[in-house]
């Protein structure tokens, strides 16, 4: 994941943890706003093995190489902003209740407060946005926050705020009518959520 997502690690972490944090950070950046030209260049260098995750990484790389920042910006807006609303609503509350700003958001805010995690002042979206949740997971893994960052803490957050809906969102992103570059981003996210869920199930 070199050159795709910058990771700060206040605590010592393993290579596996770093790779997981980078993937969460990458998904968070891509889902929080359209990719810059610099990010697209970095994504074009992604490599992958023959796993589902690796195959999705290669497809993201291939599309990043031929996607312009303007095209990516238009696609992002069609998917997530639109006129009135985008094709997808990437919020836990919507996926779990059918409405925005519902109990899943309140539960998340309570958890964030208990963990001492505060949203950045420049973030205007509700905290249950999928991009924000991915970035929070990256921060928990790397020890960016004051809360516990061990696997148990990671699992608790994942199970509470991502496990019940993130894979469905990424599947919807794969199949979205306006998704071209973002379709394999959906594949990447879906495959990664499956890997995470399987690993946490063993804890």
Give residue-wise pLDDT tens across range 86-127. 999 999 999 999 999 999 999 999 999 999 998 777 778 999
- The token duo for 102 is 């519902």
Give residue-wise pLDDT tens across range 160-200. 999 999 999 999 999 999 999 999 999 999 999 999 999 99
The three-state secondary structure class of 91 is strand
The fold of the 15-201 domain, in CATH, is: TorD-like (1.10.3480)
Rounded to an integer, what distance in angstroms lies between the CA atom of residue 54 and that of residue 154?
23
Rounded to an integer, what distance in angstroms lies between the CA atom of residue 102 and that of residue 79?
22
The count of C-alpha atoms lying within 13 angstroms of the C-alpha of 39, restricted to the half-sphere facing its C-beta, is 18
Q: What is the length of the chain?
A: 203
Q: Does residue 22 carry a pLDDT above 60?
A: yes
pLDDT in the model for residue 8: 57
Q: For the chain, give every domain's residue range.
A: 15-201
């Amino acid at each position: 994941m070199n050159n795709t997502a910058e990771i700060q690690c206040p605590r010592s972490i393993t290579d596996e943890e770093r790779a997981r944090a980078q993937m969460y950070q990458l998904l968070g950046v891509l889902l929080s706003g359209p990719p810059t030209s610099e990010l697209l260049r970095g994504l074009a260098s992604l490599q992958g093995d023959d796993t589902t995750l690796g195959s999705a990484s290669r497809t993201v790389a291939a599309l990043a190489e031929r996607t312009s920042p303007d095209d990516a910006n238009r696609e992002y807006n069609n998917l997530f902003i639109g006129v009135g609303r985008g094709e997808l609503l990437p919020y836990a509350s919507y996926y779990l209740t059918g409405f925005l700003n519902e109990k899943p958001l309140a539960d998340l805010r309570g958890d964030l407060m208990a963990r001492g995690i505060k949203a950045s002042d420049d973030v205007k979206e509700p905290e249950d946005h999928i991009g924000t949740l991915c970035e929070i997971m990256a921060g928990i893994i790397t020890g960016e926050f004051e809360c516990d960052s061990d696997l148990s803490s990671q699992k608790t957050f994942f199970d509470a705020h991502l496990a019940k809906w993130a894979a469905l969102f990424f599947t919807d992103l794969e199949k979205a009518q306006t998704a071209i570059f973002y379709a394999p981003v959906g594949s990447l996210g879906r495959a990664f959520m499956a890997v995470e869920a399987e690993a946490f199930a063993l804890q």
